[in-house]
Amino acid sequence: MTRELLKGNVAIGEAAIRAGVQAYFGYPITPQTELLEYMAWRMADLGRVFLQAESEIAAINMVYGAACTGARVMTSSSSPGFSLMQEGLSYIAASDVPAVVVDMMRGGPGLGNILPSQGDYFQVTRSAGHGDYRPIVLAPASVQEAIDLTMLAFDLADRYRHVVILAADGQIGQMMEPAELPPMQPLTAAPPWALRGAQGRAPNRISSLYMHAESAEAANRRIQSRLSQIRQYEQRSLEYATEDAELLVTGYGTAGRIALSAVQAAREQGLKVGLLRPLTLFPFPEERLSVLADRVQACLVVEMNAGQMLDDVRLAVGGQIPVEFYGRMGGVVPMPDELLTVISRMYRRVAAPA
Amino acid sequence: MQDSFLFSGFGGQGVMFAGQLLAYAGMDAGYHVTWIPSYGPEMRGGTAHCFVILSDQAIGSPVLPRPAVALVFNQPSYEKYAGQVAPGGLLVFNSSLITADQSPSVPTLAIPATATAHGLGDARLMNMVMLSALLTVRPVLPVSALEAALAAHLPAHRRSLLAANVQALAAGAALAREAWLSPA
């Protein structure tokens, strides 16, 4: 395999193709439009389905319909467009069908701007739609991770028959980095539950409508049992220099990779600082964080929002150690030097008091 | 080693491609590289820029507050970035289109790149003249690495432009040697 210089949006598109995506439905919005554009010509070349819908609402419902056939399907959007998909996402989750959705987050709230942001953390991890469920959420920090996590997204979606959201930001979508693509995988066979014509067998039925409270509660129990398995088996995170860390920094995606530069610089100054970078936002890597919380003196959460993953960190740490927060909002990306200043100040205060 | 480069100019001047070519050459030389464009209203007309980092370590932020090197192709870019280059850095500007009316705190390299490209028969070669001038005075990579990257990564439908681009790289290197070795 050779390394290529790939733009994040294009890399995700090609990774999805190599994972065997059979249908893509979408609507343009910066900063993810290159993904839609790439799929427009590549899917047609391969004889697979590409459809530019009339809106994000239409696109997510096309994803729902295509997912019911058991094919690997996806859509992509950015924050305001992703908001429009909420109802459809909930129907997909309630119907136990797999789907992959990319949210290339941009500055908000409102129309906001097209700059990188992590302001959708609550939206993607809490439900991404009404009702009682959570999607699986993956957070890449580089073009290579965007490829690897796109491949994983399709596998997890199929394994759990669940919605998987790839939550990245404009910087990851627009940036080019060297990365390696996996080989093309064969298309997956239709699973037994798929709706593809029932000649010669009893019909399958897929629905999210439950007329009676008891049957709706049974459906909810099924979803919750799936989520509890996901919590048990799918927590993922990466670490740097946590072995002897006094201060633990944690952040995901772009904020996480910039935090890594700051943590490396802090180590060069002799500060015992480590980094935990979640790869899964749901399930949040609470087990690992809980173990680390027993060892460190304090934790600093870094995000490109007003403090959202901060809640999950506090839940995982459970009041054992002080948790502080540093964030930039509205499309501002923190710089490594800026984070280093925050880290050194906090370190002096809580980890190595004079 | 980490070096950072800001390329800025009008849409159509080859800002994005010049940055990408440096990124390709850096990748081929085994460096970690990032390339990130301005993707806002700029790309719909006006001045656009891209930011490239070459490093022997994993790169955290693909954008830095001050680049080590700025390559500015037009007057608005000069106005905006001439004073932004980090200490120890270098400012390379296209003197065919830019009136240098500031006194930046870093060394500057004036290259009549648009005039040189015109002389070679195609104004679009300006970006290659600028890029090889940069590497001639700041040899993070040899100019030959740009030639190799062009040969390796130029898409098939642009292959016919390879020879002219290589010629422009040679012209930029010659201009830079002349300007750098015999300061005014």
Structure confidence at residue B42 (pLDDT): 60
Residue B150 scores a pLDDT above 70: yes
What is the predicted ipTM?
0.94
Cα A82 to Cα A79: distance, rounded to the nearest angstrom: 5
Q: Do A176 and B40 touch (CB under 8 A)?
A: no
Kindly list the distances between the CA atom of residue B28 and the CA atoms of A198, B33, B147, B148, B152, in Å, as whole numbers in the listed order. 54, 10, 12, 9, 9
Q: How close A95 comes to chain B (CA, Å)? A: 38
Name the maximum alpha-carbon separation found in chain B: 43
Residue from B61, B64, B84, B150 whose CB has the most chain A CBs within 10 Å, to mutate: B61
Please name the residues in contact with B22: beta carbons below 8 A apart, sequence gap of 6 or more: B5, B52, B54, B131, B141, B146
Which residue in chain B is spatially nearest to A3 when comparing CA positions?
B27
pLDDT tens digit sequence for B119-133:
999 999 999 999 999
Cα A152 to Cα A150: distance, rounded to the nearest angstrom: 5
- Where do the H-state alpha helices sit in chain B? 15-28, 75-81, 113-119, 126-137, 143-153, 162-181
Residues of B in contact with A176 (CB under 8 A): 20, 23, 34-36
Domain layout of chain A by residue ranges? 4-189+210-233, 237-351
For chain B, the first-to-last Cα distance in angstroms comes to 31
Residues of B with CB under 8 A from a CB of A: 20, 23-24, 27, 32-37, 39-40, 57-65, 153
DSSP state of A246: S
DSSP state of A333: P
Query: Residue B2's beta-bridge partner residues?
Result: B55
pLDDT category at B47 given cuts 50, 70, 90 is confident
Q: Do B65 and A337 touch (CB under 8 A)?
A: yes
Domain range spanning residue B141? 2-181
**Number of domains chain B is built from:** 1
Which residue in chain B is spatially nearest to A338 when comparing CA positions?
B65
Is the peptide bond prior to A140 cis by the omega test (within 30 degrees of 0)? no
Neighbours of A3 (CB within 10 A): 13
Q: Which of A193, A196, A269, A284 is nearest to A236 (CA)?
A: A284
Q: Same topology for domains A4-189+210-233 and A237-351, yes or no?
A: yes
Taking a C-beta distance cutoff of 8 angstroms, is the pair B134, B71 a contact? Answer: yes
Q: Do B39 and A174 touch (CB under 8 A)?
A: yes
According to CATH, the topology of domain A237-351 is Rossmann fold (3.40.50)
DSSP state of A106: B
Domain A4-189+210-233 has CATH 3.40.50.970: yes
Residue with tokens 């627009």: A174
Name the maximum alpha-carbon separation found in chain A: 78
Over chain A (354 residues), the average pLDDT of each successive run of 10 is 90 98 98 97 97 98 98 98 98 97 97 96 94 97 98 98 98 97 96 95 95 96 97 98 97 98 97 98 98 97 98 96 97 96 96 65
Taking a C-beta distance cutoff of 8 angstroms, is the pair A246, A292 a contact? Answer: no
Residue B182 scores a pLDDT above 90: no
- Where residue B107 sits, what CATH number does that domain have? 3.40.920.10
Residue B86 scores a pLDDT above 60: yes
